Structure formats: structure tokens, C-alpha cells
Amino acid sequence: MRKPSSSPAAAGKAAPKTTPCCSKVGLKRGPWTPEEDELLASYIKKEGEGRWRTLPKKAGLLRCGKSCRLRWMNYLRPSVKRGQIAPDEEDLILRLHRLLGNRWSLIAGRIPGRTDNEIKNYWNTHLSKKLISQGIDPRTHKPLNTQSFDQSKPSSSQANLHQASLKEPIKIVSSALEETTSDSTHIISNKENEYYQNNINAHLDDQYHTDHILASHGYTNLLNYDGTSGVDLRGNQRLGNGEAEDIHTGTEDVFSFLNSLINEEAFQQHQIFNVPNVNSAQPSSDPLASIAATTFGLNTGWESTLMPSSVQQNDSK
């Protein structure tokens, strides 16, 4: 069974205070049985959600309230969509994660029928590995290392670069990479390497600029471009008692804003504003378009939006 308090979160901290809910003397743990599911579902159907600590006793369950809530939220709720994550959902998760970081509940709030737990699991088991295989840091969504990209596949043409998406990951490789030698660390030419470095920096500046744009629109502390968690939509606290409450407060604006980033119009703007221009990585004067361009640039392959044809042409020789 599980080791008690073995998680890093618990390690090295003062003696944890135990809330009543966490004293599980005599309570059942582990996988839920169909009978328990039935008891919980029928009780909530009659009495509604809430009062989780007293619910188990009233429902005749030997579970703690937290366990009941989790089971309901992640599995039994009628609105929960089961089954595989669709490609468009995956794409959305990637975009939202780059914007929001590990705010799983917030991400889940924009993907109907999916729970934060499900998205978190999918991220950890699929998407983070996928990004790593593309040479992208899943935490920051930035290139891990210009010399550590996947060299196992042949390079893409310029046209392909502009059609890039995460569904068909684009690898940053030059024609030289196709002539793989044992000294692979020096395969990317100095010219290309210098170019990558310059534009990575430009892109980082662009992201920094994006945050200031957001701040100017009142979306302070929304972004966390270093990829760490701990700050969210309320400044320094997590979302409170349910999204319903938030939807009627500031979060509604944030969701509207997110929607504006997700919709097709933003994609079209992205196409317009991401005309490759090696001499300028300046954001657009249109704040939303600039954010959209910056936000989606990496998702369509940062190299495709930043690398000029003069460099890309090396790709096809």
C-alpha cells in the first residue's frame, strides 16, 4: 500500500496538522466498488452536492468526504466525458497549459467534460513526453536546448514548417543533420545556431512583453512564464469554492479572454502576424493579436515563425 507521508510535499515541513476529514480510522480506502458508486450517486441525486464531510455517513458510505467528492467529481458526475482525448482537445490543452501552467482545474474548465485529474494525468503521461521528444521543455514550452532536438527524423521543407502543428511535430534540423556524423553536437552550423539563439531570446522577450500586455488589461498574475505554479487568478491564491462563483466575478473576464485566444479568429490573426521577419521580433501593436501570435507561435512550431527563409532554405538542400 501507499507509504504514509512519503511525498516531497510532506517532507521537510513542520508536523502536518490533521484535519478531521483526514483521520481515516475505520474508513475504507482504495478503488470504489459499483455498490459504493451507486450509494454515492443516488444520494447526490436526491440531496445534491456539498457537505462532503457529513455526506458519507448520511449516504451509508465508509469513506471520507474528500474521497466521496473526488469520486463524484472525477468519475460519477453525469457531465464527465469518458474516453480518449481527441486531437483538438489535446491541442487545446497544450495551448492552455502554455498560457496557464499547471492550473489543471482552470484548463479543465475550458474543456467540456474533462476533469482536472484527467487532464493532469494526460499531460504527465502523454503530452510532456511528446514535448520533450520535440526538444521542448514541457514546463516552460521553450526549447530545451538548440543542440538536443530530435535528430532521428529528416528535416522538413519550408512549406512544411509553415504547416507545422503539434499534431505533426516539426523537428529543428538542418540538412546537415541528415548527414549525421558521430560528432552530432556540431552538426548545426554556427550560422544557424546563432540564429536560433538570437530568436529564442527574441521570443522570450516577446513573451515578457505579452505578460505586460496582459497586465495592462488587468490580467495580472495570470501568466507564469517560468512554468512554476503558485500564483493564480486571484493574485496569490487558488480558485475558491467552485467555478460558478468565479464565473460571476473576475474569472469570467479571464475565461472570455481565454476564449478569445482559442477561437478561430485568433488563429487567423496568428497567421497574419507571424509572417517571418528575421529583423523584427517586435509584437504587434494590436494587443490581442500580439498575444495570440505570441501565444500560438510555439504551438505551430516556434522555428516556423521565427526562422527566415534564408535559413530555412538550408533545410531543403
Where along the sequence are the contacts to DNA (CB under 7 A)? 1-10, 13-14, 16-22, 24, 28-32, 50-54, 63, 65-67, 69-71, 73-75, 102-106, 116-118, 120-122, 124-126, 129, 229, 234, 236-243
CB of 147 to DNA, least distance (A): 24
- Residue type present at position 107: I
Beta carbon nearer to DNA, 122 or 273: 122
Q: Is 117 exposed, middle or buried (0-12, 13-18, 19+ CB in 10 A)?
A: middle
Residue of 138, 127, 301, 299 whose CA lies nearest to 228: 138
CB of 222 to DNA, least distance (A): 13
Rg (CA), the chain: 23
Residue of 94, 4, 89 whose CA lies nearest to 300: 94
CB of 132 to DNA, least distance (A): 12
CB of 173 to DNA, least distance (A): 24
Site of grid cell 463524484: 72
> Do strands 142-143 and 136-137 pair parallel, antiparallel, or not at all (unpaired)?
antiparallel
Beta carbon nearer to DNA, 124 or 157: 124
CB of 193 to DNA, least distance (A): 31
Site of grid cell 474516453: 83
Beta carbon nearer to DNA, 121 or 313: 121
CB of 92 to DNA, least distance (A): 16
Q: What share of the chain is helix, strand, coil (3-state, %, to 5)?
A: 50, 0, 45
Beta carbon nearer to DNA, 57 or 191: 57
CB of 152 to DNA, least distance (A): 17
The C-alpha atoms of residue 156 and residue 135 are separated, in whole angstroms, by: 15
Which residues have a Cβ under 8 Å from the Cβ of 238 and sit 6 or more positions away? 232
Beta carbon nearer to DNA, 13 or 317: 13
Q: What is the DSSP letter of 298?
A: G
Classified as helix, coil or strand, 136 is strand
The C-alpha atoms of residue 151 and residue 59 are separated, in whole angstroms, by: 57
CB of 228 to DNA, least distance (A): 8
Beta carbon nearer to DNA, 224 or 274: 224
- Residue type present at position 5: S
Residue of 271, 276, 270, 278 whose CA lies nearest to 294: 270
Q: Report the chain's terminal Cα–Cα distance, integer Å.
A: 58
Beta carbon nearer to DNA, 162 or 234: 234
Q: Do residues 209 and 283 make contact, with C-beta atoms less than 8 angstroms apart?
A: yes
Beta carbon nearer to DNA, 73 or 288: 73
